[in-house]
Amino acid sequence: MSTIEVKKITKKYGEFLAVKDASLSVKAGEVVCLLGPSGCGKTTTLRMIAGLERATEGDVIIAGKRMNDLPPEKRDIAMVFQFYALYPALNVGQNIAMPLHFEKLSKEESDKRVNKVARILHLTEVLDRMPGQVSEGEKQRIAVARAIVRDPNCFLFDEPLSRLDVELRHSMRGQIKEVLSNLSKATVIVTHDQLEALTMADRIAIMRDGMIEQVGTPHEVFAKPANVFVASFIGTPQMNLMEADLKSFSKGVASVSLAGSPVEMAADPAVSSLRPSKVMIGIRPRAFTAESSAGKSTIRAQAELIEPMGAETLIHARTKSGGDIRVVVPRTQRIKVGEVLHLKADPKQTHFFGENGRAVRA
């Protein structure tokens, strides 16, 4: 069974902890993206799974077997790197067939497998061309074809699309996802591009400073971020994160002082566990509506900068307490610079974070 299990792995370079106690399990047929800012330990985690780095502590289990002491070639995995190299003296078909070299297959069987993956990745037409005669997108697909031609235990991808331009990346995301979804293998993809993770992953593991902060479906990490870091990292434009004073909580309604306005907002019952205190409230720019007049649940802010984004408009506004707030409204809702907005947040999309930065929800 193609599965990957990472149990409390740690990687130390001298005294520096690059990965701390990371645990993750990937089922057969599941695509998990490791996502996080530069230097957070994504590649090191992937390299420990591959056997290119030795875990200082913890276990790497692939297809049910502990792999810590096995070199990469004994782990039966296929990797696609950011800087994949094609052999320039071999044609596309021969490049794809390279990993089969060691399997001692008949020429007929080898050709059959190459033709099959070429069909899957739409490369049949270019099999006889040399690497210098194919496009960047085709080169990327050749690298993927080379990985899947061998039927390995699992797949590991390290920033597989980062060399491609935006448009090509967009179409390749869908193509790779489609190919992987038909292969029933455990797959781990490293990326720093949240759009890539949100579109390709069944689940996303978000890393920061060597630690996994949250693992969840794209919907979960977006709609229920576990902490302030995940909330601020996922979603564009970024979630508004505002310090607030929680005054009281009664019958499902929290009374807060937020952005200079006294606001009453429906809140998760778990908010009752917070004593009157400083909290962080997170509201995504699309979770506001601009009301025509002030009310008990509105925040007052003045529009300062208007950024048209096509079907929507991004407004940067200044709150009474002097902070910035980002609001996205439909293009048809005309708002002018200087206009005073009365912003009402959707309670279902309002996140409370306690003093430790962790989300408070039932």
Contacting positions for ligand ATP (CB under 6 A): 13, 16, 18, 36, 38-44, 192
**Nearer Cβ to ligand ATP, position 142 or 212?**
212
CB of 155 to ligand ATP, least distance (A): 17
Cα radius of gyration (the chain) = 25
The H or E element spanning position 160 is none
Amino acid identity of residue 349, one-letter, is Q
**Nearer Cβ to ligand ATP, position 39 or 99?**
39
Q: How many residues does the chain have?
A: 362
CB of 9 to ligand ATP, least distance (A): 12
The DSSP letter of residue 132 is G
CB of 14 to ligand ATP, least distance (A): 7
Cα dist from 3 to 179, 190, 213, whole Å? 18, 17, 22
Residue from 82, 14, 16 nearest 47 by CA: 82
**Nearer Cβ to ligand ATP, position 14 or 310?**
14
**Nearer Cβ to ligand ATP, position 18 or 325?**
18
State how beta strands 288-291 and 340-345 pair: antiparallel
**Nearer Cβ to ligand ATP, position 50 or 301?**
50
The H or E element spanning position 205 is strand 203-208
**Nearer Cβ to ligand ATP, position 80 or 341?**
80
CB of 159 to ligand ATP, least distance (A): 7
φ, ψ for residue 272, nearest 5 deg: -65, -20
Number of helices (H) and strands (E) in the chain: give both, helices first: 8, 20
Cis bond leading into 71, ω under 30°?
A: no
Are the C-beta atoms of residues 95 and 173 closer than 8 Å to each other? no
CB of 239 to ligand ATP, least distance (A): 22
CB of 41 to ligand ATP, least distance (A): 4
